[in-house]
Structure 1
Amino acid sequence: MQRQTRIWLGLGTALLVGTAGVERVAIAKEHPAGQRDKAADATSTPVSPRVHVAQAGAAGEGGPNEGGGPVLGTITEFRLSSSDPNAFTFDGSAQVSGYAELVSATYAAALEQATTLRTAIAALGNSPSEQSLADARAAWSEARSAYLKTEAFLFYAGPVDGPGGPFPRLNLWPIDPAVIDSLIADEEQSLNFRVLARLNTVEPSPKITTGLHVIEYLLWGSDGALTHDTFASAARRGEFANALAQLLVYDLTVLAAAWAPGSNNYRAAVEAMDQRNALGRAFNGMAVLIGYELPLRRIGAGLFPANENFQPSPFSDSSEEDLAASFAGARAVYFDTGIAELVRDTDTELASQIEAGFATAEEAIGQMTAPYDRFLAPPSGSPERRTAEGAVKALTNLARDLRQAGNRLGILVVVPGM
C-alpha cells in the first residue's frame, strides 16, 4: 500500500498525496570498534513519474543543512493548468535530456573530487607533513566547490533530499567544535563512518558529526591555524577525517548512480515524465537556490538580523568562494541545458532580461570578496552593507524573472517569500 503523507504548504494549505519511490540510502547498523566493517547497503526503489510531496530537512548555512527546508514543502507536480487546449505546447525534450546530462556530469565531477579528497586525507594520516596537510586542504576546497555546484539539484525531493536521501550527511551546519573534539578525545568512541552517520542528528537539537564542514574543521581547526603536528600527535583526528571522506564518496556514488544514463533509475524516471514536470525540477532547483537559499539563508543571515558570527565556511575562510560556486551551478542549469533557448523562443524580451539578470547577480556576488567577515553585520549605510544588499537584490530579482519564465512555459515555480 502506498504511504500517505500530509505536508503543509504556504499559509495553511495541506496536500495529502502518495509518495513515490526515490533512491534511498541505508547506513548499516553500527558495530563495536574493531569489528570487521561491511560495505554500507544502498537500496533503491523503482521510481515512477508520479506526483509526490516531501518535506526537506532544515536548511541553510545558518541552520542545520544547506538547501531545502521546512519552510519549503517540496512539490513534484509542476504542470500549470489552462483552459486553452493549445497552451504550453512546446517541445522541451532536448532540455529535459540536457538537464539530466548536466546533473549526471556534475555529480560525477563531485564524486571524482571527493575521491581525490579521500586519497589526500589518507596520505595526511599516513604521513603528516606541511605538504600533505596543504594537499588535503586543497583537495577539500576542490571537493567543496564541486559539491556546491550540485545544490541547484535540491528542492524537489530528488535522490539527494527526498525521503531516505543522503542530504543530511553531506553538508550540515553549524558545526560545534566541542562535539567533534569530544569524539576525538574519547578513545572508546568508534570512528567508523557508519557510527558517525548514526550520531549525526538534526532533531531535536543539532549534533553534526558528518559532512564537508566537519572535514573542514578537522583540517583547519577552529582558528584556521592547525598544523600537521596535530595529526602526528593525534591519529584519531586523521581517522575521523578519513571516515568522513569515505562516507562522502559513498553518498556521492549513490547520487551519481541515480543520474547515470542507461539505467532504471531516477534519471530514467525524469526522462519519462511529462516535460513540464521534468523541467519543473530544473526551474525550481535553480530558482529556489537563487531566490531564497543564497540571498536569504546565507547572505541575508548575516544582515537580517545582523549576525557577526555567521559565515558559510569559517574554518577555511573561503565563504566568498562558496557563493560563487553555488551560483555557478544554478547558472549552468539555465544556460548549459538549452533552457535559455527555450525561454527565448517563448518570450524574447524576458529572455534578455534573465540573461542580464544572471550577469548582474554574478557581478554582485563577485563583489563580496575576502575577507568575507566584513559582510557580517556591517553598519547601516556602509559600503559592505550596500554590497551585500546589492547581491541580495540582484539574486531575488533574477529569481522572480525565472519564476515568470517558468510560468510562461506552464511550469509551477515556488520560491519561498515570493
Structure 2
Amino acid sequence: MNISPAPSRKILPTTLAAALAGMLMLSGCSKQSDNTANTAAQTETQGAENTATTTSSAAAQAHIDRLLISYADMAHAAYKDSLETAKLLQTAVNTYVETPTEANLDAAKAAYKAARQPYSQTEIFRFDEGFVTANDKRALGSIDGWEGQVNAWPLDEALIDYVSDSYEGEYNSQDNIINSESITVGSLKQDTTTITPELLAEMSEIGGSEANVTTGYHAIEFMLWGQDTNGVGEGAGNRPVSDYITTDGECTSGETVNTDASICERRGQYLKAATQLLVNDLTAMEAQWQPNSENTLRSDMMERKDKNGLRQIMYQMGSLALGELASERIQVAFVTGSTEDEHECFSDLTHLSYANNARGIQNVFNGSYKTVAGKTVGGYGVKHYLIDTGNTEAADKLAADFAKVEAAFKVIVDKGEKDGIKVDQMIATVGQASKHGISAEEQKKRRGWIKSSITSLQELTAGIENAAKAVGIDNLDADAGSQF
C-alpha cells in the first residue's frame, strides 16, 4: 500500500545545471580531469536525490505520526468522558434505587441521556477487528470484541423483566431474571438467585442468542424506562416508580401489585449491577488509551502505524457510516417500520444516538473531539492528512459530504428535541402512521428526513472510498451491512 506522495525532485534541475556548468568549465582539461568532474557531478546529483527522498519520507512519516497520535488522544478523551458520565449515572441510579421517587427517576433518566452523548461518539473506534495484533499481555483484545457487553442491541427484554402480553420475542417464558431465582434457556438452566455484575456478564447471549442481552447501556435503559408499548405512536416507555418501591403491597410490576416486595428489591439489584458492570467495562477501555501506556490498544496501534494504521482509520469511518449506521441502525428499521430495531427503543433517544454516531466519524475527519467540559482534543485529522499529502480535492469532497450528513441529522435531532417527533414516528410506514391520525403527506415528509440521512451517509462512504484511493488504498472493503 502506497500512502506517501512520490519523492520530490524539484531541486535536481538546479543541481544538475550547476554540475553541467562545472563540466563545461573543465572541458580543456585532460581526460582524467573530465572523469573527475563527471564523478563529482554524479555524486552531487545522487546526494540531492537521497536528500529529497529522505525529506519526503520524513514528511510522510510526520503526517502519519500526527494523525495516529491525534486519533489516540481523541479516543482516550471520548472514553474518559464516557467513563465519567457513567459514574454520574451510577450515582443517580444508586440514589433512585435507595429512594424511589419521580424526581430521582427523572434524574437517573437525565444522567442516562447525558452518558450516551460521549459514548455514541466512540463507536467510530469500534471496527478494529482484523487490525489489532494478538498480545497476551494486553487486557483487552479489541474494541469490537469488548463492545458487545457495553452496547449490544436490540435486546429480548422478556429475559430480564416483565413485558406486555402482546410482546413477541425469542424468549417467551414467564420466568425472567427479575422474578425467578433460576431460569431455563433452551437446554441451559441458570441460577439467578444472586444478581451481580458477574452474573449478568455470564448470562449475556445465553443459549447462543444475540438477542439475549443482559448487560450494557440498553439493559439499563430498559430498567429505567421499561418497555415502550406505543409502537410508532407518540411516547416512550413509562415504567412506574412503584416498580422499585420495596414495601409489601406497594411494589409493582407495571399494573400488577406484588404482595411480596422482593421482586422490587431484585429489580434494584439488577439496575445497580448493570450500571456497575458498565463502569467496570469503561474503566478498562479508558485505560487502553492512556498516553505512554504499554501493552494497550493505543500502544498496539502506534506500533502498527506504518503498516495498517491509516487503513484502519478509514475502514472504521466507512464501516460505521455505511454498514452500521446507514444500514443496520437506520435502514433496517426504516424499511420494515420496526420499532424493535430502533437503537434506543425504550427511551426514544435514538435521534441523539444517530447524530452522535455521525459526529464521531466527523471528529476523526476533522481531528477534533469536544469533551463534555468543552475542551477540544485532537488537532490533526484525516482532512489534514489528505491536504498535506497533496489530496486537497479529496479532502474538499469529504468536507462537503460531511456538511450534508450534519445537515440531515440536524433535522432529525431538532424534530426529536424541539418538536417531540421521535425516530419511531419517523420510520413508520404510511399505513402505520394513519392509525395514529398522521396524514400520508405528513408521514412521507417524516420518512423523507430518515431517507435523507441514509442517502447522505451513502454519499459520505463513497467520498471516504475515494479519499482512500487517493492515498493508495485501492480496496478499502468497509463493512456494507445489510443492504436493501
- Deviant stretches of 4+, over 6 Å: 81-88
Change (3 A) 1:163 1:122: closer
Change (3 A) 1:358 1:212: same
Structure 1 residue corresponding to 2:476, chosen from 389, 406, 413 = 413
Partner of 2:178 in structure 1? 184
**1:355 is aligned to 2:399:** yes
Partner of 1:283 in structure 2? 314
Change (3 A) 1:394 1:409: same
Partner of 1:344 in structure 2? 387
The separation in 2 between residues aligned to 1:164 and 1:367, in whole angstroms, is 30
**1:385 is aligned to 2:447:** yes
The separation in 1 between residues aligned to 2:144 and 2:383, in whole angstroms, is 33
Change (3 A) 1:271 1:402: same
Structure 2 residue corresponding to 1:162, chosen from 104, 129, 142 = 142
The one-letter amino acid paired with 1:196 is L
Partner of 1:226 in structure 2? 239
The separation in 2 between residues aligned to 1:164 and 1:96, in whole angstroms, is 19
Partner of 1:103 in structure 2? 75
Change (3 A) 1:81 1:323: closer
Structure 1 residue corresponding to 2:215, chosen from 207, 210, 217 = 210
Q: Secondary structure at the match of 1:209?
A: coil
**1:376 is aligned to 2:417:** no
The one-letter amino acid paired with 2:221 is E
The separation in 1 between residues aligned to 2:64 and 2:5, in whole angstroms, is 21
The separation in 1 between residues aligned to 2:151 and 2:101, in whole angstroms, is 27
By how many angstroms is 1:301 displaced? Answer: 0.7
Name structure 1 gaps, 5 residues minimum: 1-78
The separation in 2 between residues aligned to 1:407 and 1:178, in whole angstroms, is 47
Deviation digits for residues 99-136 of structure 1 (CA, Å, limit 9, x no counterpart):
11111111111111111111111111111111211111
**1:143 is aligned to 2:115:** yes
Deviation digits for residues 59-107 of structure 1 (CA, Å, limit 9, x no counterpart):
xxxxxxxxxxxxxxxxxxxx45999788995232111110111111111
By how many angstroms is 1:302 displaced? Answer: 1.8
Scaled by the length of structure 2, the TM-score of the pair is: 0.65
Scaled by the length of structure 1, the TM-score of the pair is: 0.75
The one-letter amino acid paired with 2:453 is A
Partner of 1:28 in structure 2? none
The separation in 2 between residues aligned to 1:291 and 1:243, in whole angstroms, is 34
Deviation digits for residues 164-205 of structure 1 (CA, Å, limit 9, x no counterpart):
942221111122221111111114532111111111017632
Q: Is the 8 A contact 1:96 1:278 kept in 2?
A: yes
Q: Is the 8 A contact 1:292 1:396 kept in 2?
A: no
Structure 1 residue corresponding to 2:411, chosen from 367, 370, 374 = 367
Question: Which has the larger displacement, 315-324 or 162-171?
Answer: 162-171
Name structure 2 gaps, 5 residues minimum: 9-52, 133-138, 162-175, 182-191, 229-236, 246-250, 252-263, 369-379, 417-421, 431-439
Q: Secondary structure at the match of 2:208?
A: coil
**1:251 is aligned to 2:281:** yes
Structure 1 residue corresponding to 2:267, chosen from 237, 258, 265 = 237
Change (3 A) 1:160 1:387: farther
Q: Is the 8 A contact 2:321 2:361 kept in 1?
A: yes
Change (3 A) 1:273 1:361: same
Q: Secondary structure at the match of 1:316?
A: coil
Deviation digits for residues 353-398 of structure 1 (CA, Å, limit 9, x no counterpart):
1111111011112222332122224349821232222111111111
Partner of 2:167 in structure 1? none
The separation in 1 between residues aligned to 2:301 and 2:216, in whole angstroms, is 28
The one-letter amino acid paired with 2:265 is A
Q: Which residues in structure 2 correspond to 1:74-85 (within 5 Å)?
A: 79=1
Q: Is the 8 A contact 1:154 1:161 kept in 2?
A: no
By how many angstroms is 1:304 displaced? Answer: 3.1
Deviation digits for residues 136-173 of structure 1 (CA, Å, limit 9, x no counterpart):
11111111222111100011125877399422211111
Per residue, is there more helix in 1 or in 2?
A: 2
The separation in 2 between residues aligned to 1:314 and 1:405, in whole angstroms, is 35
By how many angstroms is 1:276 displaced? Answer: 5.4
The separation in 2 between residues aligned to 1:95 and 1:228, in whole angstroms, is 48
Percentage of matched positions with identical amino acids: 29
Q: Secondary structure at the match of 1:150?
A: helix
By how many angstroms is 1:272 displaced? Answer: 2.4
